[in-house]
Amino acid sequence: FCTQNTPWCGTMRSIVASLLLLSSSASAFYIPGVQPQTFSSGDEVPLKVNAMTSIHTQIPKDYYRLPFCQPAKGPSMASENLGEFLTGNKIQSSVYVLNMLTEVHCNRICQVNLAKTEAMKLKLHIKYGYHNNWIIDNLPSAAVGLTAKGERQKHYAGGFPIGFIATDSGEAYIYNHVTIIVEYHQVDPNVEGYRVVGFAVEPMSIKHEFQGGYIWDGDEIEGWNKALTTCTPGEIMDRKSIRANQIVRSGESILYTYDVTWK
């Protein structure tokens, strides 16, 4: 109830007027950055990484806290619009390169030679069930995994795990390969323009090997082009073709790779 003698009367009237103004223009209001982007064929489609999360600890962790591949000039904060900023999360750039409608097969992005402290940290985060949370055009990733019957299944919440603990040995294994499945649609059949409507990540653990027993130090130019016996040229990774998983252990060399396919 507001009267002329009420001290906050003027302030209350201002608030009510503002609310009425907002409600009258609500149909024309949107949050910048939440609107989907339109891409042409070949345009870069940025993939961003958010903080890792775990249902066991409830403590988010910086993605680059663990020995993952980083952009050449280092990661940068990637909350480029109000929609992402309002989430309050730590969204950063990634080393994964996606271009609209361009298929990618077993692209290598870096090799990490695990020191003892890195191996311990990585194993601990796998043990506590930490998940990666990736973003494309404000859309969070779904995860593709296997059911108890060995059937592929998609999950739409919680991101995807960074690794797993073997039930028989208790050893930790890292998911060092991902297949990124991007769903899109054409905005107008008569105009070249596409929008991402969803995406999923299928993580896999692969002990990569080079042809001829080549050992890469992660830096030599030859290693970037040397053929891998664990990948089939021109094909998306088939889980059934994996011969050995990538264990997390001091002294291990972890080669990170990825596929991209569009549907």
Per residue in 6-54, pLDDT (tens digit) is 444 554 455 444 444 444 443 333 444 568 899 999 999 999 999 999 9
For the segment 109-138, the average pLDDT, to the nearest whole number, is 97
For the segment 93-99, the average pLDDT, to the nearest whole number, is 97
* pLDDT on residue 152: 73
Contact 41, 184 (CB under 8 A): no
CA dihedral (148, 152, 158, 160) in degrees, to 10, reads: 100
Contact 119, 250 (CB under 8 A): yes
For the segment 99-128, the average pLDDT, to the nearest whole number, is 97
Tokens of 151: 């059937």
Contact 226, 214 (CB under 8 A): yes
Q: What percent of the chain has pLDDT over 90?
A: 70
Q: What percent of the chain has pLDDT over 70?
A: 81
Contact 143, 87 (CB under 8 A): no
* pLDDT on residue 151: 66
Using the structure block, give the residue that is written with the tokens 């064929």.
Answer: 41
Q: Higher confidence at residue 86 or residue 89?
A: 89
Say whether pLDDT at 80 is over 70: no
Q: How confident is the model at residue 226 (pLDDT cuts 50, 70, 90)?
A: very high
Which residue ranges make up each domain of the chain?
Answer: 38-262
* pLDDT on residue 147: 64
Mean pLDDT of the chain: 86
Query: Starting at the edge strand that comes first in sequence, how are the strands of the sheet with 152-155 ordered?
Result: 104-113, 253-262, 177-188, 191-204, 142-146, 152-155
